[in-house]
Structure 1
């Protein structure tokens, strides 16, 4: 019941999760403009630890309908092993024109192409979470 009430309050605050990430001292600087556009559609975030807390956790992002991908839920699981960390993630089902290589959107401005090097860095090879663990 407490978490339900908390989620209700959070959902009433526009762009809550985007603001939370941008305000975080380590994560805020890592979000690109493209990431910020996607983070506006997060409606809840859950972190679930494995039963043995030392063995890993799963992060679940729940999204409202958005112009970027079909998924309403994306998860990323971090499993801590003796020889390193195994990371698995939900494949993103990009919408037409949004799923270019590595999820990067190429926009043409004038005679130059503007390349957003990272789109939704949580899921790319240059993930926020991958960078934080190194």
Structure 2
């Protein structure tokens, strides 16, 4: 309904708006590259945490850093048993995801890492390292989140930086009769709730309608984002229960941040 001369000016302004968003996209990509470089400075710190959790740090080393132990060390206790299982059970985003039958396997989880990547797509990889256990032979289970930062000319208002592009899980090499994601009834296998479904989300959502599939993948991304930004860098705070009764709506916030490409 606008006069032609005004429409021409509005079209020009919309092109300028696209230029602005393209510049914002460049900014987000540069920030991701800086974060990717920055994570190298954290490797030594996270490795020190891993050694303490798994009992490979010598007691003399802890004492030299001012961490005195006033009680006699139990030689039978190595590191902090079931550290990551407790972290998962204390983190609100895992409520309902970690099932009772998952816990025995998760007792063997010895480290969780988040690695930012730029290739083949910008994103991050979650690595879950396990010691030998009775359920599967993998030593590391991975989940990769690939993202892109491209404004959609048809949805300019929705642009807010990176959106999920793809989610790539991994195959779990289950030992015979030890698959935690299935149950056998009358000779027929059926999928059951399990934390380990986290590593094959597409398979789990394969037979749902497009709207439900999109919501499911957004939820999956929210979980991955929460692990990367909250659980990995603040694991000891979850272990100690410091996040209990903290009114920051952590789960809701992370899910609001999760976006998925159409």
With structure 1 as the length reference, what TM-score do the two structures score? 0.74
Instruction: Sort the Cα spacing of 1:29 and 1:59 in 2 relative to 1 into closer, same or farther, 3 A.
Output: same
Structure 1: distance between partners of 2:177 and 2:132 = 16
For 1:53-132, list aligned pairs within 5 A.
Answer: 55-81=122-148, 84-99=164-179, 103-106=181-184, 117-119=192-194, 120-125=196-201, 130=220, 132=222
Mean CA deviation greater in 31-40 or 41-50: 31-40
Q: What is the number of residues matched between the two proteins?
A: 125
| Residues 106, 116 of structure 1: 8 Å contact kept | no
Per the TM alignment, residue 36 of structure 1 is displaced from its structure 2 partner at its CA by: 2.2
Corresponding residue for residue 2 of structure 1? 45
Where 1:30 maps in the other structure, the secondary structure is: coil
Task: Show CA shifts across 1:12-48 (max 9, x none).
Answer: 1111111001111222332111222221111111100
Query: 5+ residue gaps in structure 1?
Result: 109-114
With structure 2 as the length reference, what TM-score do the two structures score? 0.41
Structure 2: distance between partners of 1:4 and 1:36 = 24
Structure 2: distance between partners of 1:48 and 1:74 = 13
Q: Of Structure 1 and Structure 2, which has the larger fraction of its residues in helix? A: 2
Corresponding residue for residue 112 of structure 1? none
Where 1:26 maps in the other structure, the secondary structure is: helix
| Residues 164, 221 of structure 2: 8 Å contact kept | no
Per the TM alignment, residue 107 of structure 1 is displaced from its structure 2 partner at its CA by: 7.6
Structure 1: distance between partners of 2:164 and 2:109 = 30
Q: Of Structure 1 and Structure 2, which has the larger fraction of its residues in strand? A: 1
Per the TM alignment, residue 131 of structure 1 is displaced from its structure 2 partner at its CA by: 6.6
Instruction: Sort the Cα spacing of 1:116 and 1:7 in 2 relative to 1 into closer, same or farther, 3 A.
Output: same
Instruction: Sort the Cα spacing of 1:55 and 1:32 in 2 relative to 1 into closer, same or farther, 3 A.
Output: same
Query: 5+ residue gaps in structure 2?
Result: 1-43, 55-78, 151-162, 205-215, 223-257
The structure with the larger Rg is 2
Could you say what the CA RMSD is over the residues aligned between the two structures, in angstroms? 3.1
Instruction: Sort the Cα spacing of 1:51 and 1:116 in 2 relative to 1 into closer, same or farther, 3 A.
Output: closer
